[in-house]
């Protein structure tokens, strides 16, 4: 199945009334720093604190009555876990989340708070995908992956769709890149709603598999990268996401951890926004192209704001 803009439109209708329509913010000081007019789509204000609610809700809403009856399963220690748990709760579906025994207590608590059942595993000795698949089979659960699924990527594309709906056409759009759900969905929206808009993915410098994949014309796999951008510690793009990315994305940029911290400071100081490290990728990426963006109007997707306050404080003062 080839993903199309129509899938994003259908997802937008499905999530309406459940997902927040997040604000678009800007700062003249940040405009000066970047050298362009920058419009930030603030998914740190999305339900559960990140855009992942969009794809999770769309995917669960698309299940058949029988599948909903049986329940869903996901493996994640991050935002996808909370997104699935909350979306399932809202749709009256039972959710099982496979999480490592040593997952941060705050994330386990948040997932439980949304009514999710947690199945723990040893991240050094066990394979979470295997556990997820086994649970899916034994209990008849629908497995919802974090990015490589047409309904997930269509849902993620609704953030960019809302941005274009609100601000009109743009010269360039920057999206954080992990497995590519957000970037591929955004690219579908951009191509249709702002045909001249250049679309960039931005990934951690330590894990540049997306850039290498785009250059190679096939999915390149790497080891888990060491980076503070924990939402983008992916080892490869998805099959569905890469199919869209290779067709619709202009380039993939990278940002170092230091550049992410600098972007985090700009968000805090000038936009008064708490943004998690992975959510800073878009702004850090836009700062890599100063000459090219001069005089342009650009969009930056701020993907999430879930960061432990102790860790946030430590990063800001590092």
Ligand X SMILES: *Cc1c(COP(=O)(O)O)cnc(C)c1O
Give the residue numbers marked as catalytic: 52, 77, 203, 207, 209, 303
Write down the residue that tokens 């540049």 correspond to.
208
User: Is residue 207 part of the contact set for ligand X (CB under 6 A)?
Assistant: no
Burial class (CB in 10 A: 0-12, 13-18, 19+), 218: exposed
Rounded Cα distance between 267 and 234, Å, is: 24
User: Is residue 56 part of the contact set for ligand X (CB under 6 A)?
Assistant: no
Task: Enumerate the β-bridge partners of residue 199.
Answer: 173
Applying CB under 6 A, among 181, 204, 285, 299 the residue interacting with ligand X is 181
Rounded Cα distance between 300 and 222, Å, is: 26
User: Is residue 155 part of the contact set for ligand X (CB under 6 A)?
Assistant: no
Of the pair 19, 37, the CB lying nearest ligand X is at 19
- Closest contact distance (angstroms) between CB of 152 and ligand X is 8
Of the pair 52, 62, the CB lying nearest ligand X is at 52
Q: Name the segment binding ligand X (CB under 6 A); options: 18-26, 160-168, 229-237, 287-295.
A: 229-237
User: Is residue 58 part of the contact set for ligand X (CB under 6 A)?
Assistant: no
Task: Enumerate the β-bridge partners of residue 74.
Answer: 97
Rounded Cα distance between 138 and 206, Å, is: 37
- The 3-state DSSP class for residue 310 equals helix
Instruction: Count other Cβ atoms within 10 Å, centred on residue 74.
Output: 29
Applying CB under 6 A, among 71, 150, 176, 299 the residue interacting with ligand X is 176
Of the pair 71, 178, the CB lying nearest ligand X is at 178
Q: Name the segment binding ligand X (CB under 6 A); options: 105-113, 176-184, 264-272, 282-290.
A: 176-184
The dihedral over CA atoms of 92, 96, 100, 102, expressed in degrees to the nearest 10, equals 50
User: Is residue 150 part of the contact set for ligand X (CB under 6 A)?
Assistant: no
H/E stretch holding 119: strand 117-121
User: Is residue 260 part of the contact set for ligand X (CB under 6 A)?
Assistant: no
**Binding pattern for the stretch 101-130 against ligand X, x by CB under 6 A and - elsewhere:** ------------------------------
* 195: DSSP letter: T
Of the pair 68, 211, the CB lying nearest ligand X is at 211
């Amino acid at each position: 199945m080839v993903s199309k803009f129509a899938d994003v439109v259908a997802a937008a209708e499905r999530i309406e009334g459940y997902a927040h329509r997040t604000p678009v913010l800007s700062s003249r000081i940040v405009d000066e720093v970047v050298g362009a007019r920058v419009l930030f789509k603030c998914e740190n204000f999305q339900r559960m604190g990140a855009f992942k609610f969009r794809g999770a809700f769309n995917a669960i809403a698309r299940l058949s009555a029988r599948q909903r009856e049986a329940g869903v399963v996901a493996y994640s220690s991050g935002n996808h876990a909370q997104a699935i748990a909350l979306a399932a709760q809202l749709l009256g579906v039972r959710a099982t989340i496979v999480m490592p025994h040593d997952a941060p207590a705050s994330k386990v608590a948040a997932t439980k708070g949304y009514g999710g059942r947690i199945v723990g595993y040893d991240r050094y000795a066990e394979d979470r995908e295997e556990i997820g698949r086994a649970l899916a089979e034994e209990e008849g659960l629908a497995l919802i992956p974090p990015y490589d699924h047409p309904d997930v990527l269509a849902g993620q594309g609704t953030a960019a769709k809302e941005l274009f709906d609100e601000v009109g056409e743009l010269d360039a759009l920057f999206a954080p890149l992990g497995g590519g759900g957000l970037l591929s969905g955004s690219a579908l929206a951009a191509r249709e709603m702002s045909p001249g808009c250049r679309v960039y993915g931005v990934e951690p410098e330590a894990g540049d598999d997306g850039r290498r994949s785009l250059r190679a014309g096939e999915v390149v796999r790497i080891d888990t990268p060491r980076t503070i951008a924990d939402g983008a510690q992916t080892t490869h793009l998805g099959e569905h996401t890469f199919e869209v990315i290779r067709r619709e994305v202009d380039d993939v940029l990278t940002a170092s951890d230091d550049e992410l911290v600098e972007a985090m400071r700009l968000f805090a100081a000038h936009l008064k926004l708490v943004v998690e490290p992975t959510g800073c990728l878009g702004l850090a990426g836009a700062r890599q192209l100063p000459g090219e963006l001069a005089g342009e109007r650009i969009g930056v997707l701020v993907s999430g704001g879930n960061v432990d306050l102790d860790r946030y404080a430590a990063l800001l003062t590092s």
